């Protein structure tokens, strides 16, 4: 499975919605404290985190096939959701936008 982790999960049957997820390949390097290139690697990670924070990642995972579909979260107006916080409960993913709007995404409606 290419998804390395997520901050929030919502489940409906064999489908899982991962909120604020990230792909494994974006964090493959490791850092040791005595590594002279550690600062450069950590700076690269910081830039990756900034990019991910600007465009939060949503993934829909199909458990039987382990197929992952990347999704884009938008407000009902079609505008980007900004820097959201994701929370999962049951089959719903709750999104708090940068303007303190509460949005709900039901896995069964995707």
Domain ranges of the chain: 3-109
Position with higher pLDDT, 94 vs 31: 94
Question: The whole model's pTM is what?
Answer: 0.70
Q: List the one residue out of 104, 60, 61 whose CA is nearest residue 81.
A: 104
| Through-space distance between the first and last CA atoms of the chain, rounded to whole angstroms | 20
Q: How confident is the model at residue 43 (pLDDT cuts 50, 70, 90)?
A: confident
Is the confidence at residue 4, as pLDDT, over 80? Answer: no
Q: How many CB atoms lie within 10 A of CB 11?
A: 17
| The most confident of 11-25, 33-47, 51-65, by mean pLDDT | 11-25
**In the predicted structure, residue 81 carries a pLDDT above the cut 90:** no
């Amino acid at each position: 499975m290419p998804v390395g982790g997520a901050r929030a999960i919502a489940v409906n049957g064999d489908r899982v919605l991962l909120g604020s997820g990230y792909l494994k390949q974006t964090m493959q390097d490791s850092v040791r404290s005595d590594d002279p290139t550690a600062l450069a690697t950590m700076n690269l990670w910081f830039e990756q985190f900034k990019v991910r924070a600007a465009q939060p990642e949503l993934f829909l995972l199909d458990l039987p096939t382990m197929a992952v579909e990347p999704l884009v979260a938008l407000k009902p107006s079609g505008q980007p959701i900004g820097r959201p916080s994701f929370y999962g409960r049951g089959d719903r993913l709750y999104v708090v936008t940068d303007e303190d709007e509460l949005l709900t995404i039901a896995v069964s409606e995707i």
